Amino acid sequence: MMSALASALLFASVAQAQLKPEKQVEVRQAGYQFMSWNMGKIKAQVVDGTEPYDQAKVAAAADAIAGIANSGMGALFGPDTTTAQLGDMTRLKPEFFSNLEEVSRIGAEYVKNANQLKTVAAGNDQAAIKQAFGALGNSCKACHDKFRAE
């Protein structure tokens, strides 16, 4: 309980100090979209093999992903930024804020997996990159499945 309350206060205070709700949504969507572009490059080169593997490009993509994941995106999830307040502009379900312990757990996994992908992408062990890519994708999916509206 304390943990969830602390998280809630953290989310609220950090977010309110910075951006309006609509802007929080815009910026977090931008972050995920840019991340998704970079995930796509790694997928094409290391998972699907539809593009030739280029170690430097995969490492750069993983750096961008990790940089975004570590940038404190929690500040972009104010309690007034769900579908309940903002309608179609976001897909964030209000349930996000009644499950903050789970959110924190998934968020920590997501950051850990992004950092692991960055670590292995600095080398050229494609099997390790593929595995780390899959783990990060599962973190994305875990949050989407629970807290993103259709």
Residue nearer to a copy of itself on the CB measure, 47 or 60? 60
- Provide the 3-class DSSP secondary structure of residue 12: helix
Angstrom distance (rounded) from CA 95 to CA 125: 39
Shortest distance (Å) from residue 54 CB to a copy of itself:
10
Binding of a copy of itself by 4 (CB under 8 A): no
Residue nearer to a copy of itself on the CB measure, 26 or 109? 26
The residue within the footprint of a copy of itself, chosen from 60, 84, 86, 142 (CB under 8 A), is 60
Binding of a copy of itself by 52 (CB under 8 A): no
Count of beta carbons in the 10 Å neighbourhood of residue 15: 20
Distances (CA, A) of 40 to 14, 36, 46, 50, 66: 31, 6, 10, 11, 14
Both tokens of residue 146?
């629970």
Shortest distance (Å) from residue 27 CB to a copy of itself:
5
Site residues (CB under 8 A) for a copy of itself? 17-19, 26-27, 29-31, 33-34, 37-38, 40-41, 51, 57, 60-61, 63-68, 70-72
